[in-house]
């Protein structure tokens, strides 16, 4: 299994993209589903949940700054 992208690197990728607003909107729609799916797993991992939550929080802040 590969390592997930860090929150910092994800933010940099979003901001460097041609249209960051599209990326932000996609992540705002998909990250909550990923968090719910992970929480419903029998062998859910707290570290993964925290990482996804941090990413979601970062994307929410970005959306407020950009919009």
- pLDDT 10s digits, 8-52: 999 999 999 999 999 999 999 999 999 999 999 999 999 999 999
pLDDT higher than 90, residue 1: no
Nearest residue to 23 (alpha-carbon basis) of 15, 46, 3: 15
- pLDDT for the residue numbered 8: 97
pLDDT higher than 90, residue 66: no
41 within domain boundaries: yes
1 within domain boundaries: no
2 within domain boundaries: no
Do residues 27 and 58 touch, judged by C-beta distance below 8 A? no
How many domains is the chain partitioned into structurally?
Answer: 1
Helix (H) or strand (E) segment spanning residue 43: none
- pLDDT for the residue numbered 16: 96
Domain range enclosing 14: 7-66
Do residues 9 and 51 touch, judged by C-beta distance below 8 A? no
Q: Is 1 exposed, middle or buried (0-12, 13-18, 19+ CB in 10 A)?
A: exposed
43 within domain boundaries: yes
């Amino acid at each position: 299994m590969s390592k997930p992208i860090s929150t910092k690197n994800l933010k940099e990728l979003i901001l460097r993209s041609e249209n960051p607003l599209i990326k932000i909107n996609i992540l705002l729609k998909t990250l909550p589903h990923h968090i719910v799916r992970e929480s419903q797993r029998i062998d859910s991992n707290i570290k993964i949940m925290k990482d996804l939550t941090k990413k979601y929080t970062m994307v929410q802040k970005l959306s407020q700054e950009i919009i």
